[in-house]
């Protein structure tokens, strides 16, 4: 099985690469800096330099993946700008979040989704392209405005996934919340370790079927009732 992890320098992305490598999968993983690239190479992954927030960088992803067939692709890259609706966000914070969390995914999809469609996983037509979203992107039941730029960007990502699914019918595209995870973004008070979150997500994505196409799912594979 061949895995692509976009955004594997740390946290959830690094854990995905580590777990899949431990099971003998061939892993292609991206990162921005030399130390992360060396770490991924040391784990046994094929490491690619990529910055999803820079259009000139991610536009070359197809060239780096030329000839590959991807069984599972994961778009993990993301940033969390802090702030709430009491103060307007800076243009820099807004643009960086939207470039990383949304535009990067939109640029990756036309380059990667055809490679996922070519997968022969489960007999063909079931390659998976998973985009790490957040429960904070749900519009129903919003409790506060904390991280409102992040919320908006992940809600936009969910729409991107649901929309793109129609153009790639031979692949399964889903947005998935990793839960509240003990990462730099989630903090050490979170309820899930990265290993627990990724283990659950891997089990969930292994069970994806046509009925999940374009869906927004929790880390255990359960759909969110209302977006």
CATH number at residue 58: 3.40.50.720
For residue 159, being part of any structural domain is answered with yes
Domain count, the chain: 1
pLDDT tens per residue, range 123-160: 766 899 999 999 999 988 888 999 999 999 999 999 99
**Separation in Å, CA 35 to CA 39, 41, 50, 120, 157:** 6, 10, 13, 34, 29
- Structural domain contains residue 226: no
Q: How far is CA 148 from CA 97, 154, 155, 221, in A?
A: 11, 10, 10, 25
In a domain, 224, yes or no: no
- Residue 77 lies in domain: 2-217
**pLDDT at res. 209:** 93
Residues in the chain: 227
pTM score, whole prediction: 0.94
Cβ-based neighbours of 53, under 8 Å, separated by 6 or more: 79, 96, 99, 100, 103, 104
In a domain, 227, yes or no: no
> What is the bridge-based pairing of β-strands 26-31 and 46-49?
parallel
Residue 192 lies in a domain: yes
Residue 208 domain-assigned?
yes
Q: Which residue stretches of the chain have pLDDT < 70?
A: 124-125, 183-187, 190, 225-227
178 within a domain of the structure (yes/no): yes
Residue 222 forms part of a structural domain: no
């Amino acid at each position: 099985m061949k895995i692509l992890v976009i955004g594997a320098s740390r946290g959830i992305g690094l854990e995905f690469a580590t777990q899949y490598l431990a099971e003998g999968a061939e892993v292609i993983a991206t990162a921005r800096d030399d130390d992360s690239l060396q770490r991924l190479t040391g784990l046994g992954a094929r490491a690619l330099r990529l910055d999803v927030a820079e259009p000139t960088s991610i536009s070359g992803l197809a060239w780096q993946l030329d000839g590959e067939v991807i069984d599972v692709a994961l778009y993990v890259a993301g940033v969390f700008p802090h702030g709430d609706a009491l103060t307007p966000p800076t243009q820099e914070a807004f643009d960086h979040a939207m470039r990383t969390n949304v535009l990067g995914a939109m640029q990756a999809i036309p380059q990667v989704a055809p490679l996922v469609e070519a997968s022969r996983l489960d007999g063909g037509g079931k390659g998976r392209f998973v985009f790490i979203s957040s429960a904070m992107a749900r519009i129903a039941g919003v409790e506060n405005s904390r991280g409102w730029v992040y919320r908006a960007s992940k809600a936009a990502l969910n729409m991107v996934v649901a929309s793109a699914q129609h153009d790639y019918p031979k692949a399964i595209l889903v947005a998935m919340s990793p839960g509240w995870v003990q990462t730099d973004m989630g903090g050490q008070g979170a309820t899930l370790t990265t290993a627990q979150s990724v283990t659950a997500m891997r089990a969930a994505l292994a069970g994806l079927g046509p009925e999940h196409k374009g869906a927004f799912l929790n880390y255990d594979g359960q759909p969110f009732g209302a977006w």
